[in-house]
């Protein structure tokens, strides 16, 4: 059950709607715009895609670069969010965030013991599974 209630799986679950929505909206918008273009405009779009794919990105108009920058910034922010969610962090009394391996062995034992004594949070999945098991 630990895999079903893990932080990483929770992050992926939250991102399904986020990324799915972004991707569907982005692709849907592109398809709608592309389908409304005349054949000359569609040819220009395909030429821009070929320029990006072949490394001639310096020839691309500024408006297309802004769109690419937006997609890259979205991917970057999601990567940072994932990293912040899955990286174990410990806050020292001085207020610094450190990882467990950066602490002394004695401090590592103290942190581990404190974490083991902490009350375990109940996830929605845990509650559902408990209810299903009671009904059997």
The first and second tokens of residue 85, run together, are: 């969610």
| pLDDT digits 0-9 by tens, 11-22 | 777 777 677 777
| pLDDT digits 0-9 by tens, 45-98 | 888 788 878 888 777 776 766 777 777 777 888 888 888 777 767 877 777 878
Q: Give the dihedral sign, CA 87/92/97/99.
A: negative
Question: Could you tell me which of 18, 26, 1 has the C-alpha nearest to residue 85?
Answer: 18
* Residues 6+ positions from 89 with CB-CB distance below 8 Å: 97, 98, 99
pTM: 0.38
The first and second tokens of residue 121, run together, are: 């949070």
């Amino acid at each position: 059950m630990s895999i079903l209630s893990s932080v990483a799986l929770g992050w992926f679950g939250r991102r399904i709607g986020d990324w799915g929505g972004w991707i569907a909206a982005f692709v849907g918008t592109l398809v709608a715009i592309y389908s409304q273009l005349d054949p000359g405009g569609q040819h220009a779009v395909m030429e821009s895609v070929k320029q990006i794919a072949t490394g001639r990105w310096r020839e691309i108009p500024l408006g297309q670069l802004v769109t690419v920058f937006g997609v890259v910034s979205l991917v970057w922010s999601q990567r940072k969010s994932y990293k912040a969610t899955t990286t174990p962090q410990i806050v020292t009394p001085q207020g610094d965030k450190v990882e467990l391996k950066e602490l002394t062995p004695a401090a590592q034992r103290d942190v581990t013991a404190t974490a083991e004594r902490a009350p375990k949070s109940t996830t929605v999945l845990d509650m559902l599974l408990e209810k299903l098991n009671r009904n059997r």
